[in-house]
Amino acid sequence: MSPIYLDNAATTPITPEVRAALAPFLDTEFGNPSSRYPLGVRAAEAIDRSRALVARASGAEPRDVYFTAGGTEANSMAVLGAARARRGKVEAARVVFGPTEHPCVRNSALALAREGFDVVQAPLDRAGALDLAGLEELLDERCVLVAQMLVNNEFGSLYPVREVSRMTRKRAPHAHVHVDAVQGLGKVDVSIDELGADTLAFSGHKLHAPKGVGALVTRGTVALEPVIYGGGQEHGVRSGTENVAGIVAFGAAASAADDHLEASQSRVRNVRAALVQELDSLDGAAPVVAGPSVDFVCAVELPGPPAEVWQHHLEARGVYTSVGSACQSNTGEVSGALRALGFDERRARQVMRFSFSRYTTEDDVERAARTLHELAPELRAATR
């Protein structure tokens, strides 16, 4: 039986159409896009086509798309770059970051604290959603940057970024609004104007492109101090010879994600519903919901032993899931959203994450749920 991959928030498989798009660039089309002969010019043109595709998928202008080596780099460039570009413009400059940001945003913000910025984290409410009133209190004239993710990687929480942007414009007119949309692209409509963001960060491998490519998208001209210096590629915002094959793949993947958006959403809605229904009869299992959410991620509190034990038993039967965010599983930390929901460390360890893509079928999750049911007697015994 073929494996069932339900860990799409960690990474996704490369689709045949994406592989076909990038293949020539690992082969005969190896030119450096800065070279002036046809081989190089063709590479430059391929990058521009990708730029247009990513622009279209995010409602931006092609000239405002800067390719990066991934989501972490795009987020770091925006957080560090926007804050540093505003250094000295206001007294006691403040940086606000969202309550459940990815470590690349959170740790970049914490690095700014060491540079003298006043760095604060926005709170969650008791339902695990963003506490907008609490955020509003943090915003004032001194604020130079607000970083709030669009979709959370652990629970699929969908944050009210549009409201965050509006509130920021009103209360903190000097602030740059950055949105980590790594888990958003392909799952919700990402339009930079409607989100009211100054910058968006994307990652290729979350939507069926390879690892090692992403993008930072801006709304018009924004002040960003480069984090990487070099030969001035990507308008000097991100120097370094372009990852042509990765960029071409990302363009194809972003375009496909945008084309399939509505179909993906309705399909995944059914997939999630099927999983929740199948697990309804598993005693002690309950979905964990942290505020308004997308259907692409479904966190479930499981009975019996820690979710990691379930995870290995599932993987032994060809079902791949995740325990917490794969990025943080090394530290054993309890996530902020779970703490807000009142989970202690023991209960936090019971939480398993299922995450879907537009290729996940109802049959996949039904088989996964069946496997959980089959394992239940043995694993309940494990805790005696």
Partner 1 sequence: MSLAPPDLVLVRYGELALKGGNRRNFERQLARNIKDVVRPIASSVVRREHGRLVVVPARRVEQVARRVSEVFGVKSASLAWSVEANAEAITQLSRELLNDALSDVPESRTVTFRVRVKRADKNFPVQSNALERQVADAILPGPERVTVKLKDPELELGIDIRQEGTYIFLARLRGPGGLPVGTQGRALCLLSGGIDSPVAAWLTMRRGCQLGFVSFHSYPYIGEASKKKVADLARRLGRWQRRAALYVVPFTEIQVAIRDAAPESYRTVLYRRMMQRIASELAEQQGYQALVTGECLGQVASQTLENIACIGAAADLPVLRPLLGHDKEDTIAIAREIGTFEISCIPQPDCCTVFQPSRPIIKGRIDECERAEALMDVGGLVRRAIDGIETIALEGE
Q: For partner 1, which stretch binds (CB under 8 A), given 17-25, 195-203, 256-264, 327-335?
A: 327-335
Residue 277 C-beta: closest distance to partner 1, Å: 26
Residue 6 C-beta: closest distance to partner 1, Å: 16
* Residue 143 appears among annotated catalytic residues: no
Contact pattern for partner 1 over residues 35 through 74, marking x by CB under 8 A:
----------------------------------------
Contact pattern for partner 1 over residues 275 through 314, marking x by CB under 8 A:
------------------------------x--xx-xxx-
Residue 342 C-beta: closest distance to partner 1, Å: 24
| Number of residues counted as binding partner 1 (CB under 8 A) | 13
Q: CB nearer to partner 1: give 114 or 384.
A: 384
345 touches partner 1 by CB under 8 A: no
Cross-strand bridge partners of residue 94: 118, 143
Residue 296 C-beta: closest distance to partner 1, Å: 24
315 touches partner 1 by CB under 8 A: yes
Q: CB nearer to partner 1: give 75 or 321.
A: 321
Sites of contact with partner 1 (CB under 8 A): 305, 308-309, 311-313, 315-316, 330-332, 382, 384
Which residues are marked as active site?
327
